[in-house]
Structure 1
């Protein structure tokens, strides 16, 4: 416990680098939200093209949030275990892959699988960003940095 409190008060040497890291996390959060909600704007076209019912569209939109909620805690554990940089890279690559695959979906089941994978991969973004903020920002600036990432 003493070592943790000592580490919390240590200030990183380069403020330029740490603010750049926080900016990248903030940019990731903006892209995350844009990517997450774009499907709701395209839902009418997807519904017509794939012949989906309102119930199926509801399941597709809700499936993201189910996998997102279920994977939040495990994704934070993975970030702690394997490193925030490595895991955030994996999460971003995975969610980019599922975004691209969404355009290739030919039916409800395929789109449902992609939306579940999309939620799974985006679940790691905020826990991993919190890990990054805690390591890169001094204790006195963490609140501000966290708010910038989650805005």
Structure 2
């Protein structure tokens, strides 16, 4: 699947006192993950729509304290998503998601769309030739693989 999911962890809101000690943050999608001690921006290659972006808050020992998850499919459908998400252990996290395509991916998609929109010779001839003459030309065109458009 083409594309990249960009995730920005912007701020934590109303965290329980338990989370005031030194924490680390792990952001993952599929097999790719990043760890940081604070907010940050992360980028994940899109491989499937079945994954979730998972944010885990860990204590100094690396033990999970809280988490939040967002479906990749929802991110791709929205394109851009800036919202507050609830954390399982209490509080909320301000996350920003963006689905982006590389220029190569855009070019490939554009070419596929153009190929689907290209008129066939048969449709061009059908528009240019009087309907009465079409029958006479149809057998010749069928021999070379051109069918009448439906």
Instruction: Give your verdict on TM over 0.5.
Output: no
TM-score (norm. length: structure 2): 0.26
Write 1 or 2 for the structure with the bigger share of strand: 2
Higher relative contact order, structure no. (Cα contacts within 8 Å, ≥ 6 residues apart): 1
Write 1 or 2 for the structure with the bigger share of helix: 1
TM-score (norm. length: structure 1): 0.26
Q: Tell which structure's C-alpha radius of gyration is larger.
A: 2
